[in-house]
Amino acid sequence: MAGLMPGLMQDWPLTVDKILDHGARWHPHREVVSRSIEGPIVRTTYGAIHERAKKLSNALLAHGIRPGDRVATLAFNTARHIEAWYGVMGIGAVCHTLNPRLFAEQLVYIINHAADRILLADICAASIVEGILGQCPTIEKVVWLSDDGHKPNDLPGVAYERWIADQSAECAWGDFPENTAAGLCYTSGTTGNPKGVLYSHRSNYLHTLMSLQADVQGLSSADNVLMVVPMFHANAWGLAFSGPAVGAKLVMPGNQMDGASILELLETEQVSVSAAVPTVFQMLLQHLEKTGARLPYLKKVLIGGSACPEAIIRRFNDEYDVEVLHLWGMTEMSPVGSVGVPCATVAALPYDDQIPYRLKQGRVPLGVDMKLTDDEGKLLAHDGEKFGRLKVAGHSVAKAYFRGDGGEILDADGFFDTGDVATLDELGYMQITDRSKDVIKSGGEWISSIEIENIAAGHPKVALAAVVGLQHPKWDERPLLIVQMKPGESATKEELLHFLDGKIAKWWMPNDVAFDSVPLGATGKIDKKHIRAKYEGYRWPEAVAAE
């Protein structure tokens, strides 16, 4: 705009290589601890990771990788995976994180759609690589994240340690525009094919600064952080960037995420903060209950990916003096969208009175904006009552999908429709009531499957609970409650419905209860698509009784 006076500050592009540069220069001896895929605990530092990441950069450049080329990782959380992130992104290439839990056909589609040139893979993914490699013609080289002694000898590829061994640790990073693509992560593809979200260096850098706010992750150099949330799951919620940004110790669980393995790392590494989906912490709490172990060092857990049941929040607080912070976000948001750090009004309440707010998905940090609209796009009031379509905008929110998939995804005001149905209250707390595709439409009204699930999961005998809306001849849809009992436990339908009685509206009460295993998807969330397919054509008790 004509007449504006430019500021006289340095032009310092916001590229993520500067994050690890900072960690290596100012926190060079801070540990990064990994449970290696081979088994043993491995210790390194930010200084060593920085050096090895630059050796990887030179190996990539020697192969012919150039800015914009996609380099895929098929790996769990280890220091080698962190080296891969920075080694790829530092030279302007795109780090494409693949989820090892996806079906083979999904991985083939994603790799071919991204046109990945190199695949960096954990040795535990050998059978996956063997099954898909012949269907992925763009892959020129497989690099196994191991040494020669552990790499699969019956499959093509070179060991990572051999590949980088003779490379120089001197490599120019950065020196490209901050809007350069840095990372690629595909959505879970719950409807149609997965879509690619292409992060920029700028978006990741700003997301890191946003995450470090006290009202978000609030990490410091004094923290020891157990990063359970996978690096292939929406940027590991930004922890692989925010850790070195402040010099926090990172603890990486590899591919062992059962309760006993998590507890071992919490104890031996004196972890103060951890982050994971609710199912992981449910397994931890069940292990603690079984063993009688305590959590002397843990102070805070960040829970996202799906709604956190009240029982988890209360058990962590009441039995272990650990604060639970509810997070919400999306792959398309890099991913943080809101966090449940209590505001001043809520913090002043007795703990029991805080629970309704702690169960919500929290408030927006600086860098995110939100609005609720009806189906016609009309703005809805922030009264905590009106359900609406949740739409978001911000510096780390996608404006389009990779290769233009999905077409235009922003509304006229530049907001992205999350696909979630939510409320916003007068204190700014957002609560997801359902995915738009999961909300149960019964008799012209909406029923929140999430709220019923969270209450049912609080039953002392229940391990997991899921609620889906199934076709009903009179009410359009009615809720079916599916429960997976804890090992050795049993219950009756009447017992579980009685547990819900008085906690939800009577017309929300499930019409039936099914005792079954609750399937989890590739990111640890309940797989409702699978459940709906399994129970399609379900015959309600009243229909059976009428025969």
CATH of the domain at 510: 3.30.300.30
- Tell me which of 202, 231, 264 is where a domain ends: 202
Q: How far apart are CA 32 and CA 412, in angstroms?
A: 45
Mean pLDDT throughout 284-308? 94
| 212 domain-assigned | no
Query: What are the pLDDT digits (tens) for 45-75?
Result: 999 999 999 999 999 999 999 999 999 999 9
Report the pLDDT value the prediction gives residue 547, as an integer from 0 to 100: 61
Q: Has 441 been annotated as catalytic?
A: yes
Number of residues in the chain: 547
Assess contact for 419 and 435: CB atoms under 8 A.
yes
pLDDT above 70 covers a percentage of the chain that reads: 97
Asked if the model's pLDDT at residue 525 lies above 80, the reply is: no
Q: pLDDT tens digit string along 89-116?
A: 999 999 999 999 888 998 999 999 999 9
Q: Is the pLDDT of residue 191 over 60?
A: no
Ramachandran quadrant class, 341 (left: phi over 0; alpha: psi -120 to 50; beta: rest): beta
Domain boundary among 165, 181, 202: 202
Range of the domain at 534: 438-545
**At 477, which helix (H) or strand (E)?**
strand 476-485
pLDDT at 447: 81
Instruction: Output DSSP code: residue 364.
Output: P
Mean pLDDT over 300-317 rounds to 91
Give the active site residue among 290, 441, 445, 507: 441
Query: CATH no. for residue 77?
Result: 3.40.50.12780
At residue 257 the predicted structure's pLDDT band, cuts being 50, 70 and 90, is very high
Under the banding of pLDDT at 50, 70 and 90, the label for residue 125 is very high
Confidence of residue 1 (pLDDT cuts 50, 70, 90): low
User: How far, in Å, CA of 143 to CA of 126, rounded?
Assistant: 11
Active site includes 446? yes
Exposed, middle or buried: residue 231 (CB in 10 Å: 0-12, 13-18, 19+)? Answer: buried
State the average pLDDT over residues 102-131.
Answer: 96
- Predicted TM-score of the model (pTM): 0.86
- Given 202, 218, 242, the domain boundary residue is 202
Q: Do 145 and 38 form a contact (C-beta atoms < 8 A)?
A: no
Higher pLDDT, 339 or 541: 339
Distance CA(292)–CA(77), nearest Å, equals 28
Query: Which two tokens mark 210?
Result: 């946003």
Per-residue CA distances from 448 to 100, 441, 508 (Å):
31, 9, 8
On average, the pLDDT of the chain sits at: 94
Q: Is 78 inside a domain boundary?
A: yes
Mean pLDDT, rounded, for 338-358 = 97
Kindly provide the b/e burial profile for residues 314-345, where b requires at least 16 CB atoms within 10 angstroms of the residue's own CB.
bbbbeebebbbbbbbbbbbbbbbbbbbbbeee
Q: How many CB atoms lie within 10 A of CB 346?
A: 18
The catalytic residue among 44, 180, 187, 523 is: 187
What digits encode the pLDDT tens for the residues 443-473?
666 687 888 988 999 999 999 999 999 988 8
Name the amino acid, one letter, at 60.
L
- Using one digit for the tens of pLDDT, what is the confidence trace for 137-154? 999 999 999 999 999 999
Mean pLDDT computed over 219-248: 96
Catalytic-labelled residue, pool 161, 332, 451, 453:
332
Helices 310-320 and 278-291: crossing angle, nearest 10°? Answer: 40
- Dihedral sign of CA atoms 317, 320, 325, 326 in order: negative
Q: Report strand pairing: 476-485 vs 462-472.
A: antiparallel
Of 160, 176, 147, nearest to 59 (Cα)? Answer: 160
- How confident is the model over 147-168, as a mean pLDDT? 97
Q: Would you say residue 298 lies in a domain?
A: no
> Does a structural domain hold residue 6?
no
Tell me, yes or no, whether 161 lies in a domain. Answer: yes
The CA–CA distances, whole Å, from 487 to 3, 313, 331, 490 equal 71, 22, 34, 9
Checking if the pLDDT of 190 tops 70, the result is no
Structurally, the chain folds into a number of domains equal to: 2
Structure tokens at 416: 């992205």
In this predicted structure, the answer to whether residue 541 has a pLDDT above a threshold of 90 is no
Q: Which of 133-137, 155-159, 170-174, 441-445 is least confident?
A: 441-445
- What is the C-alpha to C-alpha distance for residues 484 and 519, in angstroms, rounded to an integer? 10
Virtual CA dihedral for 191, 192, 193, 199, nearest 10 degrees? -50
CA–CA gap between residue 81 and residue 125 (Å, rounded):
14
Q: For residue 240, which of 144, 342, 107, 97 has the smallest C-alpha distance? A: 97
Domain assignment present for residue 233? The answer is no
What pLDDT sits at residue 116?
A: 98
**What single-letter DSSP state applies at residue 522?**
T
**Is the preceding omega at residue 6 within 30 degrees of 0, hence cis?**
no
Of the pLDDT bands very low, low, confident and very high (cuts 50, 70, 90), residue 442 is confident
In 3D space, the residue among 68, 363, 366 whose CA is nearest the CA of residue 206 turns out to be: 366
Q: How far is CA 305 from CA 392, 398, 454, in A?
A: 17, 18, 14
Of 446, 475, 477, 493, the active-site residue reads 446
Question: What pLDDT sits at residue 545?
Answer: 67
185-199, 257-271, 436-450, 497-511: least confident range:
436-450
268 Cβ contact list (under 8 Å, min separation 6): 41
How high is the pLDDT of residue 166? 97
Q: Is residue 130 a part of any domain in this protein?
A: yes
Residue 3 lies in a domain: no
